[in-house]
Amino acid sequence: MAGRKSLLSKLDVGDIFHAEAPNGASLICLVVSVDENDLRVRRITSQDNLIFDRQTGRTRDGDIIDSVEPLPAEISNALLELDRKYQKYDPNKEPEQFRLTEAEKNALRFIKPHYASNSLPPWTQ
C-alpha cells in the first residue's frame, strides 16, 4: 500500500479529490495548479479556492485530504461539468440553468461512499 505522502505527490492539474473540513463538511476539490510545496484547488460545489500542503495534505484552516482515489470517468465528467456550470453562476440569471442534471445528482450521491471506502492512510511524521 502506497503511503500518504506518495499518494499526495501524484496529484496533478485536473485531478479531483476529497477533503474534509474541521467541521466535517465534505470538500470536493479540483486541482488547478501544483508546485513543489502546494496544491492549489477549487472546491467544485462552492468555487472557493484553497491551498493544500503537498506533504501533509492540510490547509492552514485544518481542512485535510482524506481520499485521492480516482473516480470513474462518468462521475468525473459530471463533476467537471458541475464545476464549469458553477464558474458561470450569475444570481441575476434564470436559476433554472443551474439546476442539477441527473448525472450531476448521481455523481454527488456516488462520491461519499466511494471516498469513504478509499481513504488515505493516516498521516505520520
pLDDT in tens, the chain (125 residues): 568 888 999 999 999 999 999 999 999 999 999 999 999 999 999 999 999 999 999 999 999 999 999 999 999 999 999 999 988 877 777 777 778 999 999 999 999 999 999 998 776 54
Question: Does a structural domain hold residue 124?
Answer: no
- Beta-carbon contacts of 76 under 8 Å, excluding residues fewer than 6 positions away, are 16, 70
C-alpha cell of residue 100: 442539477
Domain that holds residue 102: 4-116
CATH of residue 109: 2.30.30.140
* Rounded distance between C-alpha atoms, residue 6 and residue 49, angstroms: 23
pLDDT at residue 36 in the model: 92
pLDDT at residue 39 in the model: 97
pLDDT at residue 89 in the model: 75
Q: For the chain, how many structural domains are there in total?
A: 1
> Contact, 25 vs 39, CB < 8 A?
no
Count of Cβ atoms closer than 10 Å to residue 110 Cβ: 16
> Contact, 66 vs 115, CB < 8 A?
yes
